[in-house]
Amino acid sequence: MKVEKPYYIIDFSATNCFIDIRVNDVSVFCLNIEGQLATIIPINNAIAGTGAQRVNYNVLPIIGETNLRDDVDFYASVWLYDASGSLIEKVEEIQKYKIPQNTTQILIPAHKHESVFSANVPYRIEAWQNSMNLKDIENLRELVDKAYKSIENIFESRQYSQFINMIVQRENNVATSMYLSEEEKEKRVSGLLKILQTGFSVVPTSPSDIMIIHGYGKLVTLKKSNGTSAFLLKNAEGQNLNIELKFHLEQGKTELSVI
C-alpha cells in the first residue's frame, strides 16, 4: 500500500528489565524499567531514507542485577502510520516480536533480538552517515565533556538563542522526517525557546555519566545509569526537563556538534 507520508513507530511493553531499542544502531529508547511500561516511540528520525531498516531490541537486567528476572517480559511491534492527513492514521503492522517464554526459565545476563523491515519514505537525510568514526578518536570523552560544558555555559548565561542555533541541524532533520512545514518547524523551535526562557538551569553532567557510541560509530551521547539523558534541566518550581542530545564530528572539524 502506497502511503504519501509514511510515519513509523514502535509500540512496545516491557516488564522488569533495562531496555535499549535501536533503529539502524541509533538509540531511540533507553530506560531502566522496574515494574511495567507500555508506550509508543516514533522512529522516523532514525530512518535516513528508503530501504532496509535494522531494529535491535536489547533486553538487559535491572540496574544492579546480573541476570534477567524470572518475570521479565517484552513485546514490540513496528507499525506504519499515514501522516498525510490532519490526523495520523494507523495503516498496518509491519512486524512484531515477543521475548520467548523460556527466557524466564534460566538465568541469562541479557536477551537480544535483531530484525529488519523495509521502509519507503519520500525523503533522504544526510546527517551523521558521512561523519567521522568516533571509535577512532582517543580523546573522545574529553571532546564529549567539552561539548556538554559549552552548552551548560550557555544556560548559565541564559543565552538560550545560542542553544537554539546549536540545534538547527537537528531540528531541520526532525522537520524533514516528521513532514513539518516551515511554520510548524518554527513553532516547535519557538515553543522550546519559550519554555527555556521560563528559567531552567542545567544540572551539570558527571564523570559517572555513561558515554554511549551508536549510529555505527558516528554518534555519541551521555546517559545516566538509568538510561535517561545526562542533559537535565530544572527550574525553581522543581520541574525537570530532559533533552536528548546526540553529537557527531563532521569531516575536517575538531569539535563535536549536535545532530
Question: Tell me: the pLDDT tens digits for 53-72?
Answer: 999 999 999 999 999 998 99
Segment 25-38 shows an average pLDDT of 97
CA dist., res. 13 & res. 11, Å (int) = 7
Per-residue confidence band for 95, with pLDDT thresholds at 50, 70 and 90: very high
Per-residue confidence band for 109, with pLDDT thresholds at 50, 70 and 90: confident
Residues 10-38 as b/e (b if ≥16 CB within 10 A, e otherwise) read: bbbebbbbbbbbbbbebbbbbbbbeeeee
The DSSP output letter for 65 is: -
What's the confidence (pLDDT) of residue 92?
A: 97
Q: What is the pLDDT of residues 137-146, one digit of tens each?
A: 999 999 999 9
Mean model confidence pLDDT for the chain: 93
Per-domain boundaries in the chain: 6-119, 134-258
What's the confidence (pLDDT) of residue 2?
A: 81
Over pLDDT 90: what percentage of the chain?
Answer: 83
Per-residue confidence band for 220, with pLDDT thresholds at 50, 70 and 90: very high
Per-residue confidence band for 233, with pLDDT thresholds at 50, 70 and 90: very high
Strands (E), 85-231: 89-98, 111-119, 201-203, 210-214, 219-223
Q: Which residue has the cell 554511549?
A: 212
For the whole model, what pTM was predicted?
A: 0.92
Q: Is it the case that residue 104 has pLDDT exceeding 60?
A: no
What's the confidence (pLDDT) of residue 152?
A: 93
